[in-house]
Structure 1
Amino acid sequence: MSTQASTTLRGHHDVLLLDLDGTVYQGKDPIIGAVDALKQGVEKQYFVTNNASRSPSDVAEHLQELGFETSEEFVVTSAQVAARMLSERVPAGSAVVVVGTDALANEISLVGLQPVRSADGEPAAVVQGHNPATDWGILAEATFAIRTGAVWVATNTDATLPTERGLAPGNGSMVASVRTATGVEPLVAGKPAAPIMQDAIRLSGAERPLVVGDRLDTDIAGATATEIPSLLVLTGVSSALDAVRAVKSERPTHIGFDLDVLNLPAARSVVGQKDGWTGSVTDGVLTLHYAGHDTADTLDGLLVAAATAWQDTAEWTAVRVQGVGTDVLRELLTR
């Protein structure tokens, strides 16, 4: 693109803290245009993921196979963060019941703790991360340990996980069963909890980071919790309507349809007022009006919709979109 790097959204930041699932890839496939979009910057790019099922080296290898330029030193997983949290809370060499993959167990070993799969011997802690093979037996072992006082750290509490076939149960769905069985709340390593963002900032040395993700309740909420500006891309879980309805703790600074918005001027994606558009909330209806004669820009309309909805305290249950070429926005906000 001809836009000068210093004027683009990414040009205002020294590090991008990028989510994986739903942001740069969907399961085994890259998000269309994501590889080319990320190649156009000079800032450091760290991939920050709640998925604890794979090692940083495996994540980096997958990204490289898809065409992304990275290495394992630029990958931060919730498994690493969870292991670090436990190492600060239980004595070295302590047994930790691992509910998760061998990759999670390896992270526990790397911090000087002993991964086990049984609650026998009163282990000091439990760590729980996503594993498609998780069954009743290992959930029971975790429950036994927690009910006898073991420290419990969940790598994340995402209720769902995006896949090529749609949304599947995430680690949070499994965590919920253990929570119900024990009455205990886990410590959480991953987004939206602060530890993973804090570790990513420390490791990257970021002074002006930008969080980039597809989920309001994890990526954007995590950015808000650590007071970092954020970009929501509409390539994964959260929709345009979700963004407009977002609660205060989950409101992004910027919104884009995909990662290429990073290569456009920052003003292009920032939530706020845009030329030709007006918005209001009256009698339970969020009304957006485009006064221009050319076809309306859908992203501009969405950014105005979000700004209007967030600033107006009146409740709304319906959306009305008016003006030339606003059909796409109307469809996005009335699904």
Structure 2
Amino acid sequence: MTRAVLLGSPVALAERYDLALVDLDGVAYRGHEPIEGAAAGLGEARAHGMRVVFVTNNASREPESVAGQLSGLGIPTEPVEVMTAAQAAARLLSDRLQPGASVLVVGGAGLVTAVRAAGFVVVTSADDAPDAVVQGFAPEVGWAQLAEAAYAVERGAWYVASNLDLSLPTARGLAPGNGSLVGAVRAATGVTPDSAGKPSPAMYHMAVERAGAREVLVVGDRLDTDLAGARAGGFAGLHVLTGVSSARDDVLAVPGERPHYIGADLRTLLDPHPEPTPTSEGWWQCRTAAARVVDGSLELAGPRTATGEVLDLVRAACAAAWDAVDSGGDLDPGSVPEFVLPGALTA
């Protein structure tokens, strides 16, 4: 079995990969607020020749709206550079339904537009006998819409969700995501929806098909969606520590959710990434940082006063922990600390 390990890159990731598939919430922005380093990192990456497509599990808005927000935050973006879960959900509907089929849409304008563009008739009531229900996040979704979805699903409509993210990063903290709202319908009906969004790699493949690329890098803040989708799709994945998942989560990650690279924020696209290597003394070394697992306990060594030093310690810790677990050993989660990046903006 091929092990899910960290990779190294002697050159900047923006030079190694010609296309970055970048998540939005928790990576490029948080709610309506910019994330430090996002505009500068993406601008310099593009100057190195890296193309960018923003791939988001948020289905509430249309690509034009997303592109406008990004451009307003200093990240010039065209609508064609945005791939949403609404578009992926519409494609999933097309796998089973014929054009002209009726779909009850629970969500925002982005989902309505994508479903109509795929040739379906949008309805708003279970009494319209829809062939399918498709649900995506929107701040205005409430009990009345969830009830209509439940009625339709109970009567046999195919249930599709744009994504199953339980939480959504906002400027004020983590808010309920589409998965939490889906949970209400699932609890009422007992039906689990088919999901079009990450961690399914479908959106990544759609984005690559649209853009064309030689080497693809997925960039995200969530291990269970962004990075799991990268592993599932066979793409390299960069975890930036500006959103939901933490560096400690990296160390404890299961193989299917592990990143290939780890960085503080999007400026890490401009950096080489050292690869941890084993030593004869049982340590995993990453420049001046080292880590090993002894009797199920993670041990760390090396300086940690600068952001780069802490990142190297995280990389070494991941290598040591993953090797121990994948070799059949134990790892005590209590021995894995929280990692604080000096000067970095983390959630």
Q: TM-score with structure 2 length normalisation?
A: 0.87
Alignment deviations for residues 213-240 of structure 1 (CA, whole Å, 9 cap, x no partner)? 1111110011011111000000111111
Of 80, 104, 107 in structure 2, the residue corresponding to residue 100 of structure 1 is 107
Mapped partners of 2:171, 2:102: distance in 1: 36
Give how far 1:268 is off.
Answer: 7.0
Say which is worse superposed, 6-15 or 223-232, in terms of deviation.
6-15
Match of 2:309 in 1: 297
Match of 2:42 in 1: 38
Alignment deviations for residues 275-299 of structure 1 (CA, whole Å, 9 cap, x no partner)? 333322223421012289x998111
Q: Does 1:49 align with 2:56?
A: yes
Give how far 1:320 is off.
Answer: 7.3
SS in 1 for 2:144: helix
Match of 1:310 in 2: 322
* Shift in CA distance, 316/223, structure 1 to aligned 2, threshold 3 Å: same
Match of 1:208 in 2: 215
Match of 2:139 in 1: 132
Q: Does 1:117 align with 2:124?
A: yes
Mapped partners of 1:77, 1:296: distance in 2: 33
* Shift in CA distance, 255/89, structure 1 to aligned 2, threshold 3 Å: same
* Shift in CA distance, 274/179, structure 1 to aligned 2, threshold 3 Å: same
Mapped partners of 1:95, 1:267: distance in 2: 52
Count of paired positions = 323
SS in 2 for 1:266: coil
Q: Does 1:24 align with 2:28?
A: yes
Of 314, 319, 335 in structure 1, the residue corresponding to residue 335 of structure 2 is 319
What are the ranges of 5 or more consecutive residues in structure 2 without an aligned counterpart? 1-8, 279-283
Alignment deviations for residues 165-214 of structure 1 (CA, whole Å, 9 cap, x no partner)? 00000000011111122222211111101221221121111231100011
What are the ranges of 5 or more consecutive residues in structure 1 without an aligned counterpart? 322-326
Amino acid at match of 1:319: S
Mapped partners of 2:77, 2:285: distance in 1: 36
Match of 1:178 in 2: 185
* Shift in CA distance, 54/303, structure 1 to aligned 2, threshold 3 Å: same
Q: Does 1:229 align with 2:271?
A: no
Mapped partners of 1:100, 1:291: distance in 2: 48
Amino acid at match of 2:90: A
* Shift in CA distance, 62/268, structure 1 to aligned 2, threshold 3 Å: farther
Say which is worse superposed, 252-261 or 294-303, in terms of deviation.
294-303
Mapped partners of 1:317, 1:123: distance in 2: 47
Amino acid at match of 2:44: Q
Q: Does 1:262 align with 2:269?
A: yes
- Residue pair 1:277, 1:301 contacting (<8 A) in 2 also: yes
Mapped partners of 2:307, 2:81: distance in 1: 41
Q: Structure 1 vs Structure 2: percent identity of aligned residues? A: 46
Mapped partners of 1:291, 1:71: distance in 2: 43
Mapped partners of 1:76, 1:58: distance in 2: 12
Mapped partners of 2:295, 2:260: distance in 1: 28
* Shift in CA distance, 269/178, structure 1 to aligned 2, threshold 3 Å: farther
Mapped partners of 1:295, 1:64: distance in 2: 29
Give how far 1:10 is off.
Answer: 1.7
Match of 2:172 in 1: 165
Mapped partners of 1:158, 1:16: distance in 2: 21
